[in-house]
Amino acid sequence: MPRELTVEAMELIAERFRILSEPTRLRILHTLRNGELTVTELTRELKISQPNASKHLRTLLESGMLKRRQRGNSVFYAIADESIFALCEAVCDSLEEKYKKRASVFAFA
């Protein structure tokens, strides 16, 4: 039976989707799925600028999807909320079903 949602709950859900609607954030999350990395490592891996990475990391941190820890002068980022991957898998499964001819786009490396 579908869950009854308050307006406030719907706003929170919409905010979660808004955060995940940015492709660079999805790339960051996907990259961090394999383990924690520094900003420098992320920028190198994703070929994005440090200011761009920092902007997206801040949003992901504030949302609770990421966590960070400092060791010396290095700050490491890691996934804090693994549930985001279940959501991404559900979306990928739905899109794969809808676009079977383009299914290779959603293949996971």
Domain CATH number, residue 27: 1.10.10.10
Tell me whether residue 107 is in a domain. Answer: no
pTM of the model: 0.83
The pLDDT of residue 1: 82
Number of domains within the chain = 1
pLDDT tens-digit profile, the chain (109 residues)? 888 999 999 999 999 999 999 999 999 999 999 999 999 999 999 999 999 999 999 999 999 999 999 999 999 999 999 999 888 888 888 877 777 766 566 666 5
**Could you tell me if 77 and 38 are in contact, meaning their C-beta atoms sit under 8 angstroms apart?**
yes
Tell me whether residue 46 is in a domain. Answer: yes
Tell me whether residue 25 is in a domain. Answer: yes
Amino acid sitting at position 67? K
Rg (CA), the chain: 16
- Please name the residue that has the structure tokens 């955060």: 19
